């Protein structure tokens, strides 16, 4: 039934008799959106090759995501080309159809066997470089066309959504979130100049095609395509830097107690290396350390707020294996170090059965 509905929608849009050469197959990767890969025959040349259907549960957020992804793509930034978008209950809500990018994530295929361990140092050296160059290239785009697309989609630049999540956590009597919200008010950095921001740059939102340990075009290793623009916004560069540094520093890595100090040092190095490489890529730009800390704390605060919501049964996005849950303890510690505010989370619910 799903296949028939998708084919009907595409046929109506393209005005041609279509057929699947490869029917829709679910793809893994997203916690928020549902994603399928497919291929059709009978369409225009732009639709040749593998395609991706992304279905999003919130139409308001989807419109902003689609608008920004389309705008940065038109400016030459490497992201899948949006071919068609709309809303249809038969598919599950708001959707877009885009070209399928080639490549694997920077950590794709990594294993902890002998061969994986041999290649691990090289992979970890390369990762901050790839993330830094992607962020620098994104922030160098002309902001005007992206701002126009963002406004036309109904988007409002700023941090209101993330602050709302933190305030909602405070209202559920989660300890410390009210104090954290006051800290954000007391330490708010300047919000200009603004750049096109992704808001969720991490290894699993990148696809790398080709490359080696040397630099590609003087920048990153291989051709890097950026996915998932759900958190896109117009904010200072420190927004992306703080979010990505926070995600790297508090990476969701489960490890025995004896290895945790080593893991903490490794993830701290990844975060610091990412920021240093970004500064090297944009020497004309001056980093504001206070703004970087503010936005990193905001990232941790909103992630922990979603953990609170899930543990209290108010949402089902953050399950027991979700990265926010896996790295909750690390984020609690980092938030305290950045803000002096000690947060306490509700207890984890008992496993079903």
114-339, CATH topology level: Aminoglycoside 3'-phosphotransferase; Chain: A, domain 2 (3.90.1200)
CATH 3.90.1200.10 residue spans of the chain: 114-339
Q: CA–CA separation, 169 vs 312, rounded Å? A: 10
Full-model pTM: 0.90
Burial category of 228 from C-beta neighbours within 10 Å (exposed 0-12, middle 13-18, buried 19 and up): buried
Percent of the chain past pLDDT 70, that is, above it, reads 91
pLDDT of residue 123: 72
Residue 118, pLDDT above cutoff 60: no
Q: For residue 117, what pLDDT is reported? A: 41
Instruction: Indicate the pLDDT class of residue 217, thresholds 50, 70 and 90.
Output: very low
Least confidently predicted of 133-142, 215-224, 256-265, 330-339 = 215-224
When the candidates are 3.40.50.720, 2.40.40.20, 1.20.200.10, 3.30.200.20, the CATH number that belongs to 2-99 is: 3.30.200.20
- How many Å apart are CA 325 and CA 120, to the nearest integer? 25
pLDDT-derived band at 300, boundaries 50, 70, 90: very high
Give start-end residues of each CATH 3.30.200.20 domain in the chain: 2-99
Whole-number pLDDT of residue 331: 97
Give the pLDDT band (50/70/90) at residue 353: low
- Residue 257: its pLDDT value, please? 78
∠ at Cα 290 (288, 291), nearest 5°?
Answer: 65
- Residue 21: in which H helix or E strand, if any? strand 19-27
As given in the structure block, the two tokens for residue 219 are 């920048």
In this structure, what DSSP letter does residue 120 have? H
Residue range 232-258: mean pLDDT, rounded? 91
For residue 97, the model assigns a pLDDT of 98
Looking at residue 115, its pLDDT comes to 46
The values of phi and psi at residue 36, to 5°, are -130, 150
Distance CA(303)–CA(126), nearest Å, equals 26
Higher pLDDT, 235 or 116: 235
């Amino acid at each position: 039934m799903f296949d028939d509905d998708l084919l009907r929608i595409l046929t109506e849009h393209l005005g041609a008799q279509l057929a699947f050469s490869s029917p829709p197959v679910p793809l893994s990767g997203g916690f928020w959106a549902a994603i399928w890969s497919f291929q059709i025959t009978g369409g225009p040349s732009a639709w040749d090759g593998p395609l991706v259907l992304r279905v999003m549960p919130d139409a308001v957020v989807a419109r902003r995501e689609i608008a920004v992804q389309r705008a940065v793509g038109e400016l030459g930034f490497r992201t899948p080309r949006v071919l068609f978008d709309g809303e249809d209950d038969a598919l599950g809500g708001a959707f877009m159809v885009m070209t399928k990018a080639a490549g694997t994530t920077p950590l794709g295929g990594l294993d902890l066997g002998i061969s994986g361990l041999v290649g691990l140092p090289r992979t970890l050296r390369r990762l901050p470089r790839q993330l830094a160059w992607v962020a620098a290239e994104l922030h160098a785009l002309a902001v005007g066309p992206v701002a126009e697309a963002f406004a036309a989609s109904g988007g409002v630049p700023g941090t209101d959504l993330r602050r709302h999540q933190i305030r909602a956590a405070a209202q559920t009597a989660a300890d410390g979130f009210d104090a954290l919200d006051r800290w954000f008010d007391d330490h708010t950095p300047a919000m200009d100049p603004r750049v096109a921001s992704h808001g969720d740059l991490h290894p699993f939102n990148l696809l790398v095609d080709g490359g080696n340990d040397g630099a590609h075009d003087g920048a990153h290793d291989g051709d890097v395509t950026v996915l998932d623009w759900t958190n896109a916004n117009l904010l200072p560069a420190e927004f992306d830097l703080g979010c990505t540094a926070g995600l790297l520093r508090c990476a969701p890595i489960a490890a025995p107690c004896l290895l945790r100090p080593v893991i903490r040092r490794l993830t701290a190095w990844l975060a610091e290396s990412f920021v240093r490489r970004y500064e090297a890529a944009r020497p004309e730009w001056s980093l504001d350390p206070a703004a970087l800390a503010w936005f990193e704390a905001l990232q941790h605060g909103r992630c922990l707020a979603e953990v609170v919501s899930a543990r209290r049964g108010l949402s089902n996005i953050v399950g027991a294996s979700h990265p926010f849950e896996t790295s909750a303890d690390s984020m609690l510690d980092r938030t305290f170090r950045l803000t002096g505010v000690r947060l306490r989370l509700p207890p984890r619910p008992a496993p079903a059965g």
